[in-house]
Chain A
Amino acid sequence: KSVMNPKRCAACRYLRRRCPKDCVFSPFFPPNNPEKFACVHRIYGAGNVSKMLQQLPVQTRAEAVESLCFEATCRIEDPVYGCVGMISLLQTQIQKTERLLARTQAEITVSQIKHSQNQHSEFM
């Protein structure tokens, strides 16, 4: 029976439906990885994912699916902040590194000034 077709994609298996030849999910949700679709479905819902994919050119859909999966995974792991927590963390890291860089460059300048002062005094 076509419904029990083992070649159904992970999405159609999860949704317990026939997997048509032009299934929008099947290129990106192979049957050997059911978790991937379960994750995305839990956060966005199959309908929303389908809509989003259909609105994208075919060659961009693989990347879109990967980023949706990533964001959904982040949201499941951190239900309050999702991947926005990571953005916040990166911004903090950038600020700290910028401060340390500025201090280090200031120290270079101080060392160079001191060196040139020492050289000058030697010639006096």
Chain B
Amino acid sequence: VTIQINKTGVVVIKAEMGGPGSSSPCASCKLLRRRCAKDCIFAPYFPPDDPHKFAIVHKVFGASNVSKMLQELPVNQRADAVNSLVFEANARVRDPVYGCVGAISYLQNQVSQLQMQLAVAQAEILCIQMQHEQPLQSHHQVLELDQDEKALLLNNNNINNCNNDNNNLGYAMSSGQFNSNFASPSSIMQMQMQMQDPLKQESLWT
């Protein structure tokens, strides 16, 4: 409630009812047609100038589910949670059958293809070095690898045989590593368990 004196000396009392004269209700309360309380759980994350953001999350998850999810999180994690929910909701609306899982399948496919190309390139280097019988140290440009790159190399180092003919490289692919079954959630779940480094990049949705 605010008390003001206007130009003619009249005392004007304004009660904050979420109406057009006072601070605007958040997008959630606007859509749900209810009073936007001061401690509204949605207000910090669903400003009134972006009604689509809440509309899409409400459509997929439902306001009460979103509220429940946010309440179970510490305040400093809620913004990221909202952004990831918005991302998932958008993906589900764009692809009602697969949602985000479609994107995961696609990216998993890309990883597999890149790992195959890497294995071929590494096999080729070994072949070149073996062909020319040059010691590794003197003519070999040493690659400075960090921990992750070393892990990737070890994962991909499945060289079966190596002919003198560079066009006919043979290499072994370990089973499960180059997974061609992308639509199956169980294969994706298996991959999830192999990943131990949960890097969270905020740039994903800024």
Min CB–CB distance B156 → chain A (angstroms): 9
Given contacts A56-B96, A79-B73, A107-B125, contact A88 B65 (CB under 8 A): no
A-B CB pair tally, cutoff 8 Å: 160
Contact between chains at B97 and A108 (CB < 8 Å): no
Contact between chains at A70 and B65 (CB < 8 Å): no
How many angstroms between the C-alpha atoms of A87 and B64 in the bound complex?
26
Interface residue SS majority, chain A: helix
Given contacts A45-B62, A60-B97, contact A103 B115 (CB under 8 A): no
Min CB–CB distance B99 → chain A (angstroms): 5
Report the count of interface residues on B (CB-CB < 8 A): 61
Selected contact of A81 from candidates B92, B185, B195, B200, CB within 8 Å: B200
Task: Indicate whether A35 reaches chain B with its CB closer than 8 angstroms.
Answer: no
How many angstroms between the C-alpha atoms of A86 and B108 in the bound complex?
10
Selected contact of A48 from candidates B62, B87, B98, B129, CB within 8 Å: B62
Contact between chains at B200 and A83 (CB < 8 Å): no
Task: Indicate whether B77 reaches chain A with its CB closer than 8 angstroms.
Answer: yes
Selected contact of A43 from candidates B65, B80, B101, CB within 8 Å: B65
Contact between chains at A92 and B114 (CB < 8 Å): no
Q: Report A-chain residues with C-beta under 8 Å of the C-beta of B200.
A: 81, 85, 88
Which 5 residue pairs across A and B have the least CB separation, nearest first?
A: A90-B107, A67-B101, A84-B84, A70-B185, A104-B121
The interface of chain B, by Cβ under 8 A from chain A, is 60-62, 64-65, 69, 72-73, 77, 80-81, 84-85, 87-88, 92, 96-104, 107-108, 110-111, 114-115, 117-118, 121-122, 124-125, 128-129, 132, 139-141, 143, 145, 148-149, 152-153, 183, 185, 188-189, 192, 195, 197-201, 204
Can you add 17 more A-B contacts, CB < 8 Å, to A44-B61, A86-B195, A104-B143?
Answer: A44-B62, A44-B65, A64-B98, A66-B185, A67-B100, A75-B69, A80-B81, A81-B81, A81-B200, A83-B88, A83-B100, A84-B84, A84-B204, A88-B199, A96-B148, A97-B115, A108-B121
